[in-house]
Chains A and B, each alone.
Chain A
């Protein structure tokens, strides 16, 4: 930087004092150095431009100046012109990244040249290639030190741009189990004499059901995941559980949920009175009465698959298929 004139150096350091990516117009720069004539400023600006210490940015039809840090400028001066051009577009794309085809179209360079530049930049760790959830097949580049935006990564549900269903499923199970334990006092406990073996419920005016905050707190307190989840993420998980008919939104409330009894039954709980070893819980006649109930599709979990003849099986869609 030895060749840089004192005044140009002063201007550059004054520009860097403002937060990065601040845009200055001509008058502002003139005021900074108390320069009266634009010609003088022009010389200084040209000097800085040559050293790549200042970028020209067009905003609303006006030309504006932006300071570039010395290290950054060093980086760029070491690059070839092509590389610098490619780099500038990647830099401009910010956290969204830019598709190789767009680079090619914007720079008007040949495919080979673009690929060569990208390789060189990648080797120097100036840029990196990322995967986008929206366009999984596209090769997208962004600056090495940036984090891809949520649109690109797809949010907490994506791992390596793939929907992480296992992660989602385990979170769903945790939330359901937590809510169910708050909805049905004894669902997950072994039967005891203190509560009715067939059904033990909270009264209808019970208010201890969980809301989003409680679920969030539970997840954080038990360190269930190291991924940052927002309330919105929890809400979308709860929505899925509602679609699964595992949770219900309590009427006249916002974001307060209770687990459905059907989901508890389907998960294999709440039927301890009917299990082996628990015969003493209820009387034999009652058990007989309870087990002698008409068929209902809601108790599909209790139906034993029979192995009759294949020709005897009927299919629900037989009418439309036959």
Chain B
């Protein structure tokens, strides 16, 4: 393979390969891109194999591999009993590059410039030892500050400890552990082979978890000196991509809430999600990544739910209205957001119910007095206290009302109230809705409202032919046929042929249509990835067209004196190039925000 063929070769391979290679080329250079593209296509190779296939000298390959491994772009694996080292592609590093801009801007807004600097340095180097970083600073006071920032980023899980096994592919680690366990599980005449394998698998699972969790105990991570807990400076830390993915999930969920419930509720929801974000379940789990371990989709769902339930049981993803009240943004004004007239009525209804339950006299009297009271008093008599200190009327009761709204959606239930006043987020089921709503809105915006209507109708019908569909969507059959063609072409529908004669004559055959989420989402995701890669190579291409001008700007003597040294036409081109790049980057980021949902 030659570097000139790289874009085309990776483009034809798979959208992922196209995107990853383009990113690698932009950030890491041609050699890295070639190696990555080669590893994506061949799976895993030794250094000599890579050199053979890419026609890059072994020495150069090896030095490139070192830095790629450091950047978490490549895994290595040494087979026990053999000297050969195999290299395979690691998505994490490239994904971090993909999100790097967003990561830094997010850390800047939430943790400040200094934290962003630390994160940026970690991103650039792949991983760093805290000691090395701190020792580069001369100012003693600053040193302490930086250590505190590290501590804060670490406790919020933006950075995590990097250990040797993080450089090995999960599949290989699993396999090694599994083979070992299997060997140590004795064969007996009383247990069947199936049972033995299952037993070995269970044991390996425990071992695997132990391995992953090893070195994460407070003893390994923290040092306590003079009563102050701080991070062990000998730790090697790296950026935690899954933490950022959680943040992206929060953003997507808030957008969903904004479109389904309303802006104020969505902002409360945002605060709530941020409250539990750090301890929310990861988007992926190593067990789901190990090929062949969890095959059944039902089992996978069960597994994901079990993780979530465990977090709920441990109260990690559970929050309380009062906790939330303290964290709401200051500019949030909830006054009059829940209608007053109903507000009064609401406070009365539970009592009316209890009145019919047994106690006759007293409660009825109470209602009478309340009718003449104003709202604040009726609230107090109900046991809820209005917080007046912050002065903007964000009472606990109002927040509670918004949380109730969020948890009572007829489609997606954004929150679940587990006990009065405390809520949790049903991540697993919400992700399903998130994908569904985004997908449907994409259909609406690209293929039009008629396609949207037909698709949703077909989803509720499960399966249907043109006639049934056109009867239920009240559109002309001709329109329906056109729309179905569009949907089929975009791989959003499946067609089933139902022949009615032995020769399968086309005139007698009729067709049924159905929508299958998994395949549609997969196709959409690939399309989005492809489009992202296209934008990147487009930017590359038009920069290439003006290479001479851009190089001129980079020259030392020109820098800073562009106004004097460049022609007016050159300045104009430069400006248009810049706007074009900005608009393309915006486009890229918008597609990226969609792609994250289907990842």
- A: residues with CB less than 8 A from B are 157, 163, 165, 168, 185, 194-196, 198-206, 236-237, 239-240, 242-245, 248-251, 258, 260-262, 265, 270, 282-283, 285-286, 289-290, 293-300, 306, 308-309, 311-312, 314-320, 322
- Give complex CA distance A308, B126 in Å: 36
Question: CB-CB < 8 A to A195: which residues of B?
Answer: 336-337, 339
Categorize the interface residue count of chain B.
35 or more
B110 to chain A, nearest CB (A): 14
Instruction: Evaluate contact between B338 and A298: CB separation under 8 angstroms.
Output: no
Q: Mark B577-589, 1 if CB is under 8 A from A, else 0.
A: 0001001100101
CB proximity of A234 to chain B, nearest CB, Å = 12
Q: CB-CB < 8 A to A185: which residues of B? A: 339
Within 8 A of A (CB), among B385-419: 401, 404-405, 407-408, 410-411
Q: CB distance A157 to B255 under 8 Å? A: no
CA separation between A250 and B407, bound complex, in Å? 13
Interface string of B300-312 (1 = CB under 8 A from A): 0000000000000
Mask, B318-346, CB within 8 Å of A = 1, is: 00000000000101011111110011001
Check if B331 sits within 8 Å of A295, measured CB to CB.
no
Contact A289 B331 (CB under 8 A): yes
| Shortest Cβ distance from B329 into A: residue | A289
Q: Which residues of A contact B411 (CB under 8 A)?
A: 248
Q: Quick one: CB contact mask for B421-452 with A, threshold 8 Å, 1 for yes?
A: 00000000000000001101110111001001
A200 to B337, CA, bound (A): 4
Q: Which residues of A contact B530 (CB under 8 A)?
A: 318-319, 322
- Inter-chain CA distance A299–B266, complex, in Å, is 14
Kindly state the separation between the CA atoms of A260 and B252 in the bound complex, as whole angstroms.
18
Contact A200 B261 (CB under 8 A): no
Among A202, A250, A265, A282, contact of B410 (Cβ-Cβ < 8 Å)? A250
CB pair A318–B474 under 8 Å, yes or no, is: no
Contact A243 B405 (CB under 8 A): no
On chain B, the residues within 8 Å of A157 by CB distance are 474
10 pairs of A and B residues whose beta carbons are closest in the complex: A296-B255, A319-B530, A199-B262, A298-B259, A204-B404, A196-B337, A204-B408, A199-B264, A314-B531, A286-B331
Contact among A198, A205, A239 for B346, CB-based, below 8 A? A205
Return the contact of A312 from the options B473, B527, B538, B590 (Cβ within 8 A).
B538
Specify which chain A residues have a CB less than 8 angstroms from the CB of B473 in the assembled complex: 240, 243
Q: Most B CB atoms within 10 A — which of A198, A250, A261, A316?
A: A316
A residues less than 8 Å from B264 (CB atoms): 196, 198-199
Cβ-defined contact, A168 with B474, below 8 A: yes
Q: How far is the CB of B393 from chain A (nearest CB, A)?
A: 10
B490 touches A236 (CB 8 A): no
A248–B10 CA distance with the chains assembled, in angstroms: 45
What 12 additional pairs, Cβ within 8 angstroms, besides A203-B405, A261-B262, A298-B255? A157-B474, A196-B264, A201-B338, A203-B343, A203-B404, A240-B473, A262-B259, A296-B255, A297-B442, A297-B594, A298-B256, A309-B580
CB-based nearest B residue for A171? B474
Q: Is chain B's binding surface mostly helix, strand, loop or mixed?
A: helix
- B258 on interface, CB distance cutoff 8 Å: yes
* Cα–Cα distance between A265 and B263 once the two chains are bound (Å): 11
Chain A residues contacting B251 (CB-CB under 8 Å) are 294
The segment out of B28-36, B39-47, B453-461 that lies at the interface is B453-461
Chain A residues near B475 (CB-CB < 8 A) = 163, 165
Contacts of B449 in A (CB 8 A): 244
Asked whether, in the complex, the Cβ of A203 is within 8 Å of the Cβ of B259, the reply is: no
Q: Which residues of chain B are within 8 angstroms of A248 by Cβ–Cβ distance? A: 410-411
CB–CB A294/B456 < 8 A: no
When A199-B337, A298-B441 are in contact, do A317 and B474 touch as well, CB less than 8 Å? no
Select from chain A the residue with minimum beta-carbon distance to B18: A319
Whether B259 lies near A243 (C-beta < 8 A) is no
CB distance from A224 to the nearest CB of B (A): 17
Residue of A nearest to B343 (CB): A203
Name which residue of chain B comes closest to A290, CB basis: B263
Asked if B535 lies at the interface with its beta carbon under 8 angstroms from chain A, I say: yes
- Max count, chain B CB within 10 A of own CB: residue among A286, A289, A319: A319
Report whether A298 and B589 are in contact in the complex, using a CB–CB cutoff of 8 Å.
no
Complex CA distance for A194 and B333, rounded to whole angstroms:
13
Q: A201-B265, A204-B405 are in contact. Are A296 and B593 (CB under 8 A)?
A: yes
Q: Do residues A312 and B438 form an inter-chain contact, with CB atoms below 8 A? A: no
Complex Cα–Cα for A168 and B479 (A): 15
A185→B262 CA distance, assembly (Å)? 13
User: Least Cβ distance of B445 to chain A in Å?
Assistant: 5
| Interchain nearest-CB distance for B264 vs A (Å) | 4
Q: Report whether B262 and A203 are in contact in the complex, using a CB–CB cutoff of 8 Å.
A: no
Contact A201 B339 (CB under 8 A): yes
How far is A293 from B261 in the complex, measured between Cα atoms in Å?
17
Closest to A253 in B: B410
| Residues on the B chain within 8 Å of A198, using CB | 262-264, 333, 337
Known: A249-B410, A296-B593, A314-B531. A202 touches B338 (CB 8 A): yes
Neighbouring A residues of B591 by C-beta, 8 Å: 314
The smallest C-beta distance from B595 to any residue of chain A, in angstroms, reads 12
Check if A196 sits within 8 Å of B527, measured CB to CB: no
Check if A319 sits within 8 Å of B15, measured CB to CB: yes
Do A236 and B474 touch (CB < 8 A)? yes
Residues on the B chain within 8 Å of A309, using CB? 580
Given contacts A195-B336, A251-B410, contact A297 B527 (CB under 8 A): no
Residues of B within 8 A of A289 (CB): 329, 331
Q: Give a binary string over B240-276; 1 marks a CB under 8 Å from any A CB, 0 the rest.
A: 0000000000011001101111111100000000000
B526 at the interface (CB under 8 A from A): yes
Check: B491 CB closer than 8 A to any chain A CB.
yes
Q: Report A-chain residues with C-beta under 8 Å of the C-beta of B445.
A: 297, 300
Q: For the complex, give the distance between the alpha carbons of A245 and B259 in Å.
A: 12
Write out the residue numbers on chain A whose beta carbons fall within 8 Å of the beta carbon of B346: 203, 205
Task: Provide the residues of chain A in CB contact with B440, threshold 8 Å.
Answer: 245
Is B282 an interface residue, CB under 8 A from the partner? Answer: no
Give the most central of A245, A290, A293: most B CB within 10 Å.
A245
| Residues in chain A near residue B262, CB distance under 8 A | 198-199, 201, 261, 270
Q: State whether A243 and B460 are in contact (beta carbons under 8 Å apart), knowing that A199-B337, A202-B342 are contacts in the complex.
A: yes
Chain B's closest residue to A200 (CB) is B337
Residue of B nearest to A155 (CB): B471
A-B contact pairs, 8 of them (CB 8 A): A185-B339, A195-B336, A199-B263, A201-B265, A240-B453, A243-B456, A250-B410, A290-B263
Contact A311 B538 (CB under 8 A): yes
Q: Is B534 an interface residue (CB 8 A)?
A: yes
A238 to chain B, nearest CB (A): 11
Q: Give A262 to B412 CA distance when docked, in angstroms.
A: 13
Kindly identify, within residues 1 to 34 of chain B, every residue whose CB is under 8 Å from any CB belonging to chain A.
11, 15
Q: How far is the CA of A290 from the CA of B456 in the complex (A)?
A: 31
Determine if A318 and B441 form an interchain contact, defined as CB atoms under 8 angstroms apart: no
CA distance A241 to B594 in the complex (A): 26
Chain A residues with CB below 8 A from B166, complex form: none
Separation of A245 and B455 alpha carbons in the complex (Å): 11
What's the Cα separation between A200 and B259 when bound, in Å?
A: 14
